[in-house]
Structure 1
Amino acid sequence: MNLGSVDNRNAEIRSGKKVLEELTHLEIKGSNLEVRGFASVEGIYTRRESSIRKMVLIVPKLDVNAYREKDPILLGEKTDTEILDELTLKIPLENCMVAEVFDEDSDEDFEVEDPEFLESLSGYRGYIDLSIIAKGKPLEAGEYNVFITLEQLDNENENIKYEKVIPLANSRRFLNNTVSSTRLNYYSKQSVMKYNLVASFDNYTKTLRLKSTLLRSYDPRIMDEDDVVQENRYVRAIKKRVFQLAYSIFSMFPIKKNKVVFASDSRTELTGNFFFIYEEMVKREMNLDIKFLLKDNINERKSLRELTAMAYHFATSKVILVDDFYPIIYPLAIRNGADLIQVWHAAGAFKTFGFSRLGRPGGPSPRSRNHRNYTKAAVSSEGVRENYAEGFGITVDKVHATGIPRADIFVDEEYKEYVRSTLYEKYPELKEKKVILFAPTFRGNGQATAHYPFEKLNLKKLYESLSDEYVFVLKIHPFVKNKIRIPYEYHDFFLDFSDYREVNDLLLVTDILITDYSSVCFEFALLNKPMLFFAFDVEEYIESRDFYYDYFDFIPGPLVRDVNQMIDVIQNEEFETEKIQPFAQYFFDDTVGNAAANVIDQLIIPSLNDEGTEEEEEQAILPPAKSRKELFDRTLSSDK
């Protein structure tokens, strides 16, 4: 690559002025490139933000003539410089004082001691996410050189502008063994791409070189988690029609007055809200005909035989309970005299969902039938009824503030003690030190695009700062496709419990919760323990997803944007715990301990007592798990 084609002003700054410049920090953390340094025209130092600008240039290495031949009509009249300028990525850097760009433990001494220079805005810093740098996608496959550009106005005559492209000549010393490597991932409904990125020093151009290589690219719509081709869409369409036709036929059968169906596409065992509702039924010795239609995820195949059986049970049940998004049931017209009850898996109302996201990325079509056929819905408190009515696209009178059944454990002292003692016995490291639970939500528009930017966690710094007193337990959302890689030397500090199903059990042994936009904060508030919110992308999240409440006033704990702030809050115990109890009261009312009973009394029994359905022979229920302790033991034994 000809450096002159990057910027023909690069050779000299006019009037013979010298540029003072140096790169003081360069680090690649996951997909993030972090740079700090300074650049300024000697003797022309400014403290005005508008008078100086620095940018990172990521310039592709390519044969411009060969590239021009791809579209000679469009590119034929453009110069090499114009073509290269269009392909170059330009990322603005933040201006700062020179003193701010040196690492605290750096032993470097800058030779110039001119106070005017040191106090000017000659410094720069930037945190560049290479996984979204190319219009929201990773740095494309190819080789690139990285430069810093300086644009600076003369203090006395602002019509004079000094400009220069600066190679990162000392970047070599920041690279481990002269090379650093990482992975870049991209997730969307139509595409999953994985790249390998290698950073090295280019001996010819004397600057940082990046090489991006595409490792994998596929359409997730035709692949499942094990890379097995899913059903042909025409087969799925035929099955859907068969299911709906069967439902219509079975709707001519009488409804069974004592029949209750538990249906979920996100669990294979009766856990969460389902278990506590079922437990209450068993306690009351309610003689019901119970059917369980449970699948691990919405993409799991259902045979025609299964679909026919499901259609029969849905059509002949008095009560159908769902606990999450359940797409197969939404096109169905629920029969008169029957109820479809949503006992949503999450507490409170935090980030918007469902029809509250109309018009936003990942939001539903206005014509969507999702959620709209619920006849009743259970929520955690009176204050969130309207939010859930909006999200589900139903009228508010169908939404009932019963409380969240799975939260009943927080007043069950015997169960809480049993969970703690059992977890401590199996994982003694949880008892030996204080427990930090890291439980963020995913990024992306849904299950197909779910991921988490683990590069935002500086594992080394967390380990060095907190490992003497704490263990750091990770509970990553089950939708997240990419996995965190924990270096072996940190395994005594970072413990991955992401496969453990019930996060509420983990809350009972947690001393500090770190989350972001997850509803886990609601249940944890019932323990009146400190939490903090690692929301480095809150502005972006507000723009794309938004919240039912003002996020900054809503959260019952401090907001931190990077690992340094996270560590400071923990070490200085600045948790804002006075916000927790009012938060818990608003989002749970006084339902905790009675929520399962409320669902039975307010939603299920009124439906069962409706007249007009055929009386059936009563059948006793045999619970899948006989107690909360047994359910916990099953969950624990399936962990890891």
Structure 2
Amino acid sequence: MNWRINESGVSATIENIEWERIHLILTVRLHIDGQKTYDIDKMEFYAVNNLGGCGVKFDVRRKEDIIKLHVNVTNSGELRCIPRGTYRIFVCEKDCVLAECETSPDIADQLEAMSRNFLYGERGKSYNVTFYIEDGTDTLPFRMHCIALGAVGVTFPQNPSFLKKINLIKALKDCYLSSRSVLRRVYKWYSFLYKSRRKNTVLFMTEQDQKIASNLKAVSDRMVDRQLDQQYRLLYSARPAAAEPQSKKSWIGLMKLLAQSGTIFIDDHAPVLDWLKLDDDTTLIQLWHAGAGFKSSGYSRWGHEGCPSPQSCHRQYKYGIAGSKNIAPFFSEVWGINDEQVLPTGMPRMDEYLDEQHRNEKIKELYEQFPMCRGKKVILFAPTYRGRNKKTAYYPYELIDFEKLYQICGDEYVVLFKMHPWVNKDIVIGKKYADKFLDVKKYPNINDLFYIVDLLITDYSSNIFEYSLMRKPMLFFAFDKIQYSFSRGFHRDYEESAPGKVCYSFEEVLSAITDKDFEYEKVEQYITHHFDYIDSGASDRVIDWILLGKMPENISNAIKKKQEEIQRMHELDFATGMLVQQDD
């Protein structure tokens, strides 16, 4: 890099530091000597460590001479957290270094409070981003220090007995021969055997269920329909391993399947891939099961209980999918990958949902199965669960005023209740309400129910994604929005994003139904933002774009541009100029 700090006439001051979940935002004010001419829009901002290595290129958003520098600390562009180090921030134009960012005196005493610690690993580890001013200078040079830390003891260590030393040796041996260590070796052995034969082998895999369903099934079925099973060898693995222990035979069988596969499709988190690194020539694709709700997950809720470690299954994705390019950032934030890797193919499971023949068949079946719905408007009450996980999932039924809901139904409405599959306690419907209320929890596919539903009542569930395409109203019963936001987090503003009226008490829900106050205009806005395609071609796009290499040119060019940007970052050399500056 060409070092021009002393003669550039440019100075930069960091005036504010903000956090938006895992996104760090630095407000920088530029001052340019009146005799100098620069194109501010072409300026680039880099975080550089003490060895002269570039760790981050900031996303620059400008409003006149005030500039906002954005970076996701869990993904600096290379699918990893900002690497450990102490960083200074340089202002550059092409290959010239024009200025180093200073700290505004107005925030100098607030830097410690503006720093952030993200707990992970059952709160026993932390990724820290700390801001400070370097000592020993006449100015206020800004510094950012990033480091991952583990738990340490706080008491004076005891001298182990000889026997305990022997136990320590045994513990190290047991660790070396642990199940994960053994399984990694099994995987490597099978990889050696199958490496040359796995190019055209595709594995459809879930660790969440005993059957292949949803997006995985849709893509698999479509490959068979197109006779691509003659070109590709299709393998399947369905285990509820995320919640239930598995046998040694099952684990070894999974290692064999993984080692045989050149492409692996999953549609949810696969915990096994948190600790098993796939071979570099194996492609992992995330066909995420949910469309786009509000709940934060993955790296989007980093620092909250249950969040992933810096390296996890998500980091291994080559691509994920979404309904539109507009919502790609929601998914890339969750997975800790780049926006360009999220392909707007649409959801494969919705191909059948949007098929007119399928719709007509299901409507006929539904009215035969639930005759009480004939000639009535149907309300579907379908919220998400409360609780930490499948074992503790519940819903506070006491908040539902069955009597008042029954009264306002009159001759116009019936109500179907479909609780989240994880909620073990069934809703109890009294006999006097049985002519208007019905529990449909056991009905297998909520999407099919949407065909006969006239009003959806939900909360933070992603079921709004599919339902929105029915172009019918929704209500949001968000009685615990503050608590839910704290425990789970939202990746966007809830009130602004909800495609319908938000109610904070059941009384408000009842009033909205009575007054037909649904704020329906938000539905079309939601559809426009969330869907690039409204058709039955999502499975074909997944197959064509990912497996057959027929990616749209604009998308492949964006991916290539991002790769070139990262490569250029690695080639930048700030070390020489920094050494000269220190000597001065």
Q: Does the pair score TM above 0.5?
A: yes
The partner residue of 2:205 within 256, 263, 271 is 263
Mapped partners of 2:548, 2:242: distance in 1: 29
Equivalent in the alignment of 2:251: 307
Mapped partners of 1:566, 1:306: distance in 2: 48
The partner residue of 1:246 within 181, 186, 190 is 186
Equivalent in the alignment of 1:359: 303
Matching of residue 479 in structure 1 with residue 419 in structure 2 = no
The answer on whether the counterparts of 1:322 and 1:341 sit within 8 Å (CA) in structure 2 is: yes
Equivalent in the alignment of 1:49: none
Mapped partners of 2:411, 2:477: distance in 1: 22
Q: Deviations over 1:219-243 (max 9, x none)?
A: xxxxxxxxxxxxxxx99x9544443
* TM-score, structure 1 normalization: 0.55
Q: What does 1:312-351 align with in structure 2 at a 5 Å threshold?
A: 312-351=256-295
**Cα 1:362–1:483 shift into 2, 3 Å:** farther
Equivalent in the alignment of 1:279: 221
The answer on whether the counterparts of 1:440 and 1:518 sit within 8 Å (CA) in structure 2 is: yes
SS of structure 1 residue aligned to 2:235: strand
Q: What does 1:194-205 align with in structure 2 at a 5 Å threshold?
A: none
Matching of residue 444 in structure 1 with residue 444 in structure 2 = no
The partner residue of 1:590 within 514, 533, 544 is 533
How far did residue 515 of structure 1 move? 0.5
Equivalent in the alignment of 1:525: 468
SS of structure 2 residue aligned to 1:291: strand
Q: What does 1:168-187 align with in structure 2 at a 5 Å threshold?
A: none
* TM-score, structure 2 normalization: 0.61
Q: For residue 295 of structure 1, what is the amino acid of its counterpart?
A: R
Q: Deviations over 1:358-399 (max 9, x none)?
A: 11233334x352422112211121012122112112233322
The partner residue of 2:350 within 397, 400, 407 is 407
Q: Deviations over 1:581-633 (max 9, x none)?
A: 1211211122532211111111222399xxxxxxxxxxxxxxxxxxxxxxxxx
The answer on whether the counterparts of 1:442 and 1:450 sit within 8 Å (CA) in structure 2 is: yes
Matching of residue 539 in structure 1 with residue 539 in structure 2 = no
**Cα 1:371–1:449 shift into 2, 3 Å:** farther
Percent sequence identity over aligned pairs: 35
What is the number of residues matched between the two proteins? 374
Matching of residue 381 in structure 1 with residue 324 in structure 2 = yes
Mapped partners of 1:598, 1:479: distance in 2: 32
Equivalent in the alignment of 2:547: 604
Equivalent in the alignment of 2:567: none
Q: Deviations over 1:269-294 (max 9, x none)?
A: 33211222122212211022212211
Q: For residue 257 of structure 1, what is the amino acid of its counterpart?
A: K
Matching of residue 433 in structure 1 with residue 376 in structure 2 = yes
Matching of residue 290 in structure 1 with residue 230 in structure 2 = no
Structure 1 stretches lacking a partner, 5+ long: 1-188, 190-233, 609-640
Greater C-alpha Rg:
1
SS of structure 2 residue aligned to 1:532: strand
Mapped partners of 1:362, 1:582: distance in 2: 33
Equivalent in the alignment of 2:116: none
**Cα 1:465–1:297 shift into 2, 3 Å:** farther
**Cα 1:239–1:507 shift into 2, 3 Å:** farther
How far did residue 297 of structure 1 move? 5.9
Structure 2 stretches lacking a partner, 5+ long: 1-121, 123-173, 552-584
Mapped partners of 2:524, 2:238: distance in 1: 36
Q: For residue 519 of structure 2, what is the amino acid of its counterpart?
A: E
The answer on whether the counterparts of 2:198 and 2:261 sit within 8 Å (CA) in structure 1 is: yes
**Cα 1:467–1:304 shift into 2, 3 Å:** farther
Mapped partners of 1:490, 1:238: distance in 2: 56
Mapped partners of 1:388, 1:398: distance in 2: 10
Q: For residue 335 of structure 2, what is the amino acid of its counterpart?
A: F
SS of structure 2 residue aligned to 1:263: strand
**Cα 1:478–1:515 shift into 2, 3 Å:** same
How far did residue 467 of structure 1 move? 5.0
Mapped partners of 2:366, 2:484: distance in 1: 35
